[in-house]
Each structure stands twice: as C-alpha cells, then as structure tokens.
Amino acid sequence: MAIVSQQVYLGEDVNSIIFDVTLSSALSFIPWDSNVRSAVVLLDGNDIWDSNDFPPSGQGEYFDQQVDINGIGAGVHTLSLAVRTNKNDSPDIDYYADWDFVKFDTYCGGLGYLPEDFDQDCYVDMNDFRQLIDRWLVEGPGERYDLLPDGIIDFHDFAFFAEVWQDNTDWQNWGNDNCYEVELLLGDIDYSGEVDYGDILELADSWLDAGGCNKADLNFDGIVDFKDFAVLTRDWQKRSWLYWVQ
Ligand SMILES: [Ca+2]
Ligand SMILES: [Ca+2]
Ligand SMILES: [Ca+2]
Ligand SMILES: [Ca+2]
C-alpha cells in the first residue's frame, strides 16, 4: 500500500469527509485495473472508503464522495489516502490517484479561527466588534479579547482587531486576499490549544524516540530530544484558536 497520512483534529460536530478523486494510469492502453488495485481512504488505520465499492469502480472520476463518520468521537485521528495494489502485480508503469480535496466540516473547513473572530463564525465582522466593545476597559488576565495581552481591553486591542476587519477563514474563499489559514501551535502536542505542562508530559513520553512522524519531534530531525524541548519552551503558554473552542 502506498500511503500518505496526516493527523487531524475532529470536533464533535464533524459527521462526514468529502472529496473528489480521479484514478488513472500513465499508459492509456494499460488502464487502472480494479482487480489488482484500488484507492482507499483510511481513518485510524481502518478502511472507510474503497474505490472498488463505487462507480466507476476502476479508472475514472469519482465526484462528491461523502463518507459518513458519525460517532467517530472528538479528538485527534489519523487520516490516510492510499493506493492498495495486489503484491503479485508488479507494474512497471505509474498509476495515479489524484485527490482533488478533502474537506472537514468543522472550524471553517479546517482553516481555523482568527483570534479576533470571537463568535467563531469564520468572519471578523460587526458581531465580533460588538463583543469587543462589550468588554471595553475590562481588566483581568486571560481575557480572550485582550489581543495585545497587557491585562486591559483598550485601544491597543482595537488596533489588532482593525487590522483584520472583514477578513475571514472560510475555506470556500480559499485563495482570496482576505482569507487566511490559522496555524496551530507546533508545541501544543496534546492539542489543548495551549503550550503547557500537558505537552511536556507528551514530550517526556516520547523522549529519545527515533523515527519519522512522531508528533513530539517538533524540529523534524527524527529524534525527540532537547532540541524539541527548546521549540516547546519557545511557545510556552502561548494559545491558539483551539484553546477557545474547548
Ligand atoms: Ca465572527
Ligand atoms: Ca490589551
Ligand atoms: Ca497543550
Ligand atoms: Ca527532534
């Protein structure tokens, strides 16, 4: 099986995975043969979609495939896209599975929330402005409206807010100038939304583990060690949008 995997955070409201895929071969007279290979989508290592179960069942285009994942449970999961081939079939030509897109129906289609999008509807607009004004001159640490975190909601925070006025993270606007993908924090290994002691525990659990794809290998050098601890401390106590989703 040729496979690419990615860890994804699925919220409780995610109920389907949607994608298009086209199966083809490098040589038109030796097409994709469904008897020896199929394209597969896996979640946590289990098949959830197989091209042989749907038309055209073989070479061709599969539009608007929708996989029901109700009941999968909120949390971190591994999503994999794969091509599975009978090992006795040793092709000397290339076969392709072109995944057009994979969309998760949560957090603005996967782009996350801007910090200023207080009501989490993917847009920074009047509703968020009203929420900010409601907290005007409120003091106290840990306020999400304290965009310049100095313990008070005032003009400094408004300046941050004004910077992203009418920006959005709606995946349907992907590629537009005012549409953004909001990254998660690298050091937030346990996806709590904050780089904190939970992440140190995760890192300690993987200490000196070697090999690729370890989520505690924060500098991607193939081993979990002090260099990763340094990356974690760099982001210490920073929060991402995920913190406010909980
Ligand atoms: Ca909003
Ligand atoms: Ca402030
Ligand atoms: Ca964390
Ligand atoms: Ca490392």
54-94 pLDDT tens trace? 999 999 999 989 999 888 888 889 999 999 998 787 667 88
The bound ligand whose nearest atom lies closest to the alpha carbon of 228 is 4
Q: Which two tokens stand for residue 168?
A: 């959005």
Residues of the chain with pLDDT under 70: 90-91, 101-105, 212-213, 246
Domain containing residue 98: CATH number: 2.60.120.260
pLDDT at residue number 9 = 79
Does residue 15 belong to any structural domain of this protein?
Answer: yes
Q: How far is the CA of 228 from the centre of ligand 4 (A)?
A: 5
C-alpha 107 to ligand 1 mean position (Å): 12
Alpha-carbon distance of 101 to 203, in angstroms, equals 32
* Residue 118 domain flag: no
Of 58, 91, 106, the domain-final residue: 106
Type of residue numbered 11: G
In a domain, 88, yes or no: yes
Which stretches does DSSP call E strand in 69-188?
75-85, 95-104
Which pLDDT score is estimated for 188?
Answer: 94
Gap from CA of 151 to ligand 3 centroid (Å): 22
CB 234 within 8 A of CB 187: yes
CATH code for the domain of 231: 1.10.1330
Quick check: is 82 in a domain?
yes
Q: Are strands 16-25 and 2-10 parallel, antiparallel or unpaired?
A: unpaired
What's the pLDDT score for residue 176? 92
Give residue 103's pLDDT: 63
Q: Which range of residues forms the domain containing residue 9?
A: 2-106
Ligand 3 center–CA 3 separation, angstroms: 28
What distance in angstroms lies between residue 226's CA and the mean position of ligand 4's atoms?
A: 8
Question: Residue 231: what pLDDT?
Answer: 95
Is 165 domain-assigned? no
Half-sphere exposure of 161 (CA within 13 A, CB side): 25
Which residues are within 5 Å of ligand 1 (an ion), measured at CB?
117, 119, 121, 123, 128
Ligand 4 centroid from CA 216, angstroms: 7
Task: Report the distance separating Cα 205 and Cα 203, nearest Å.
Answer: 5
Secondary structure (3-state) at 92: coil
| Ligand with an atom nearest the CA of residue 130 | 1
- Of 81, 106, 131, the position where a domain reaches its end is 106
pLDDT reported for residue 91: 65
Does a structural domain hold residue 140?
A: no
Total number of domains constituting the chain: 2
Q: Is residue 133 part of a domain?
A: no
Residue ending a domain, among 106, 124, 151, is: 106
